[in-house]
A and B are shown apart, each in its own frame.
Chain A
């Protein structure tokens, strides 16, 4: 990772009030901490209260920014409208929303489990729509704002390993692209982040990982991408763009014989 990324409060003046969904671990946690470090007021949304409290405590100890804890399961879509309003009120407005909640259960060879698939659709896709729709309306009216969604390189192709995960990430990337095309004319920046392998709970114990980066590195790269301005969609780290390009161009008759 380039070490050039020294975050200053000035860089983040446009992200003064942020919501991070899926802030209890991984990239979401790292992003929330980076934002708070730069002076932002961050609403932390996730299921696990003790994890959120731990992160909020660390943020408060750092002395910059502010953290607000909201326990919420993104699959409880009906709670979102009220919680969104409440958070916007608490933060005194909104400049940025990050959707980092994601689920990738282990799918064994020969396993077809609808319950697992549905959980992924709920968390990876529908939860994003439930949260980003009101945020998009808010930002369109405000003519300013940033939406970032953590998708994945897994959405580039339907791999044999985890059909539903690839599906939800492909759908999320397309949804974010549509939002970007909808909102760019109103000065709203919608960013699709497609990380490669990141060292988080999601990848723990998985075999065959390479180019593994820490969640902190992924968060820094994500913020770099966000700060590029309107129209960004990119791989984190960037070298995964090459992998994605290759993977997209493998002909189907070859792809179906591959094991990755």
Chain B
């Protein structure tokens, strides 16, 4: 590239999926891996940092970089090779989960781990090491990755697997895109005999009951997920619904393999009579405390009625719950929401989760959607998973609750760190370096940054997330990049900043 990127790249105001922060970024969407490599090289020469963005599905600031370039990988979405006998795919980084399953399902293969939406890219799934409703059984996304190609800051592409560069492999998966650009992913898919899952629904009358249902069914489930009504209090605290699902074995699907056809894997075009595309508009007036309390109570009541029900559901309909309502994030209004997901070790999980739910209610900030899952440890360096439980929570952000909400997340983070818990950075928008350092063990963070120094000695790869959660650790590696307090920073680092009536915005330097 002959002209400087700094001069020619257009600016684009990008947000995280939660919409609670915006950053003006230099944006480029390369159309080939070679072009991506040239962009990285030019940025490096010009002393600009590079952050990667796939579908922009991370809730917080993981795909934003106001101080340098944002490399958008969505144009790099080709499937390079598909082996339908062994279920092994090679793909470019920007191929989405949707692009993947649509091409593999008719051969009888389904991604072993999928998130709650089908739109994330494979490189995004790799970098965040995402998990699904079956984490307790099959581990995270990374456990099914056989190999990745990683473009280092020097421009060299290295192949990493469990045998080649294993240390880098286990750090780049779940490495937030900070070690290099993932330029190819080789993934092993799961063989399925049917396009349907056997789903069982159970009503849980409180959180203890829900934990009991989980523990009782953990051994013989392929998927387990719990929805918690976070408005319920007293004896009913933590009431909700558990969904259990099994793969169907040969002969168990009344239609046989016909259900593997792509067109059988759709989502319903209307929900309760509303066209899906506009459903968020209908949800909008309910997105406030009393409105959502009503919706949650209604949902709990429905769950009670469907306790013990068993039915068949397609993979898509069971897995991609978030895609039922396109643009659902808009229902939270212009100031958006934050998602906050906590991971708690098994021993202390019940009490900690109860305490978390109670704390939110005491502070008058109940979350609008809590999802309970069971997890297991995995071999990845910066993994969020542990032998325990997680609860993902959506909190609406408003101009008036903003200060209070950030205080609450600080209180909750203290509780979680104290209980030996962890967090998940595909969702996070609030954590500070000291939480991260304690939750992830200094020794592991040291090892991660030692690798970063080796692969990216000048601190080329950086994001808003990285600056927020790693702070001074990045400064130690970075050279030649501008470091100021003044750039548009979407997320606050501490709540003792001067009170502001504005929604999350740049930190005042006053």
Contact = CB atoms under 8 A, between A and B. Distances in A.
A142 B486 contact: no
Interface stretch (B7-15, B297-305, B344-352): B7-15
Interface string B197-223: 000000000000000000000000000
A85 B482 contact: yes
A82 B22 contact: no
13 contacts: A16-B510, A81-B6, A81-B9, A82-B7, A85-B6, A89-B482, A133-B11, A134-B24, A138-B24, A140-B13, A140-B22, A142-B506, A143-B503
Contacts, number: 57
A202 interface: no
B503 A141 contact: no
Given A81-B6, A142-B505, A89 B486 contact: yes
A223 interface: no
A27 to B, nearest CB: 27
Contact of B11 (A16, A92, A134, A142): A134
A93 B484 CA distance: 9
Given A89-B482, A89-B486, A92-B486, A141 B502 contact: no
Contacts of A138: 11, 24, 488
B23 A141 contact: yes
B488 A141 contact: yes
Nearest to B334: A185
B485 interface: yes
A78 interface: yes
B66 interface: yes
Interface string A77-117: 01101100100110111000000000000000000000000
A20 to B, nearest CB: 18
B484 A89 contact: yes
A144 interface: yes
Contacts of A7: none
B505 A144 contact: yes
Given A133-B11, A141-B24, A92 B505 contact: no
Residue of A81, A88, A141, A143 with highest tally of chain B CB at under 10 A = A141
Contacts of B485: 92
A144 B486 contact: no
A185 B22 CA distance: 14
B82 to A, nearest CB: 40
Contacts of B490: 141
A81 B12 CA distance: 13
Nearest to B14: A141
B250 interface: no
B487 interface: yes
A137 B14 CA distance: 10
A92 B66 contact: no
Given A82-B6, A142-B488, A143-B22, A137 B11 contact: yes
Interface string B35-50: 0000000000000000
B2 interface: no
A92 B484 contact: yes
A78 B7 contact: yes
B24 A88 contact: no
A10 to B, nearest CB: 13
Nearest to A82: B6
B509 interface: yes
Contacts of B11: 133-134, 137-138
